[in-house]
Amino acid sequence: MSILEAVGQSQEPVPLKDLTSLLGIDRSNVFRLANTLRERRFLAHPDGRKEYVLGPAAWRLARRYGRSRLIVLCHDHIRALAENTGETAHLGVREGSQVLFLDHHVAEGQMVTVAGQTGQYLPLYNSAHGKALLADCQLNDLKTIFANVALRPATRRTIVTLDRLAAECTKIRDQGIAVDDRETLDEIRCVAAPIRDPEGRIIASVGISAPLTRFPRKRFITAGRQVSAVAKAIGVALAD
């Protein structure tokens, strides 16, 4: 654990001699411990060098922990958003060029509801959650994210060019909310907001989805305020 902490906290690859000094044991035992971690892919040698950096297994573990903590921290907020709006609320994160839904809650008392999508993926470019996750992106960022992805229309309102998507990102940064106005499905509208960590980075999105008959355009303002308030509350909780 001391080895992993030392390597994880260092800005540069860590040589074996530094680990030997840290643990206060002989070099051969430190090498054995570090090599076991490397074989299990918790450590790695960068570019064939002999120093150590965190390996893919460590990053996967950190990612799973981060997402599990995010779900636990956000669940009550998601449920409250659903009940306060009377709609289906979701929590999403970015996976490459897609949004992955980690959690949802469906409000009670509605005859017609949008089904929960926990565990499902949607494209970033035509979903409110996806666009909220892209809010800080410039055109060059979008070109990198969608380098091997065709922007295909799901409906006649879907954004299918990166220039328009970049303009939409600017609008989302200014307004604080993203809208899916029948861009994924003709019968559904959605509003989402980015969730930011204490450093201001977008790490997730929160939003609601509703049938078109219950979500007129004039409701975007009220729904946007509700969703933004929850996103900010989650951001505050992340800082605690």
For residues 100 and 121, is the Cβ–Cβ distance under 8 A? yes
In the numeric block, which tokens belong to residue 55? 């390996």
The pLDDT value given to residue 122: 93
Q: What are the tens digits of pLDDT across the range 12-51?
A: 889 898 888 888 888 899 899 999 999 998 898 887 778 9
In 107-172, where do the E strands start and end?
A: 121-123
Q: What are the tens digits of pLDDT across the range 45-102?
A: 887 778 998 888 887 777 777 788 889 999 999 999 999 999 999 999 998 999 999 9
Query: Distance between CA atoms of 177 and 192, rounded to whole angstroms?
Result: 6
The pLDDT value given to residue 117: 84
Across 121-146, average pLDDT: 96
Q: What are the tens digits of pLDDT across the range 95-124?
A: 899 999 999 999 988 878 888 889 899 999
46 in helix, strand or coil?
A: helix
Could you tell me how many residues make up the chain?
A: 240
Domain ranges of the chain: 2-54, 64-239
Amino acid sitting at position 19 = L
Residue 182: what are its φ and ψ, rounded to 5°? 60, 35
Query: In Å, what is the CA distance from 102 to each residue of 19, 70, 142?
Result: 38, 9, 23
The pLDDT value given to residue 166: 97
What pTM did the predictor assign? 0.77
Residue 6: band (very low, low, confident or very high) from pLDDT cuts 50, 70, 90: confident
Do the domains spanning 2-54 and 64-239 agree at the CATH topology level?
no
**64-239 falls under which CATH superfamily?**
GAF domain (3.30.450.40)
Fold of 2-54: Arc Repressor Mutant, subunit A (1.10.10)
Query: Distance between CA atoms of 177 and 211, rounded to whole angstroms?
Result: 19
pLDDT surpassing 80 at residue 208: yes
Residue with tokens 């074996």: 16
Query: Distance between CA atoms of 92 and 213, rounded to whole angstroms?
Result: 24
Query: Distance between CA atoms of 17 and 197, rounded to whole angstroms?
Result: 35
* DSSP labels, 33-87: HHHHHHHTTSEE-GGG-SSBEE-HHHHHHHHHHHHHHHHHHHHHHHHHHHHHHTS
